[in-house]
Amino acid sequence: MNFSNIDAAEKKVVSIAILVSIGHLLLIAYAAMFLHISVPTCQPNEKLFTEPSLNKIGSHRYEVHYVAKMWDFLPKKLVIPKGSTVDFFLGSVDVNHGFHINGTLVNLMAVPGVINKATQKFEKSGNFPIICHEYCGFGHQNMNAVITVSDSATEAEMDLGFQNDKMNTNLSPAALAGQGHFNKKGCIACHNISGAPGGVGPTFKGLYGRREEMNDGLKLTVDDAYIIESIKYPAKKIVKGFNNVMPILPVTDLEILEMIECIKTIK
């Protein structure tokens, strides 16, 4: 078909379409080459993980596995040297979560059963907060972490953290193990250890031996049996003033006993 025989209006539409397509391709090339933007890809064949990790894979090049869970990101804090490039691998152990690093173009979804990936080079020092921008339940507003880019750091390091609460390290082996379980299971995202009000769940400070009133008016003393039941069957008894939002945790009987030993020390 001779292009000269095409109606003038149609020629105009075709020409505009071609120019717009070329413009889109040029913008994509510019974004990839100069803004270092990459499109996040869902990798169902990537090996799944349930624990956070940090690996150095080259000079100023790191690979970090982030775990999203209700309602926390692990690691809570990542410190990296200025100029580092980080490959982020993101997984979820429960529901969908958002993952956005403020001040960067990293914007991922944490989807159960798959791994999402993004790469970011950090050329400026400072703090880069991580937020969840996908509503994931009652404790959504507490879900955050931070990346600190340091001029003085020589190697990257991660801190699982207890949000901003400092726990006692002078503990028995069982209590120390329990502290680790609280960290890995994300318990401190909802239960602070400072005694501050307004948490998603009751504070752990002074919890053991405390008299608690349930939503149905029943009053109970917090002891081993109560904590075991609360972890295994979190919906059975709800403390007055709180909602039924605690998930059933994948913990063993031994891990629960170690968590109880830790709770006993938080006074």
DSSP state, residue 59: T
Cα–Cα distance, 267 to 109 (Å, whole number) = 38
Same domain, 51 and 127: yes
The owner of tokens 């082996």 is 173
Q: Cβ(149)–Cβ(84) under 8 Å?
A: yes
Q: Please state the pTM of the whole predicted model.
A: 0.59
In a domain, 100, yes or no: yes
Same domain, 123 and 209: no
Same domain, 67 and 150: yes
In the prediction, which pLDDT does 262 show? 92
Same domain, 149 and 179: no
User: Which residue range(s) make up the domain with 11?
Assistant: 3-34
Same domain, 73 and 105: yes
Q: Tell me: the pLDDT tens digits for 69-103?
A: 887 888 988 999 999 999 999 999 888 999 999 99
In a domain, 75, yes or no: yes
Closest to 191 (Cα-Cα) out of 210, 170, 172:
210
Domain count, the chain: 3
Q: Does the pLDDT of residue 42 top 70, yes or no?
A: no
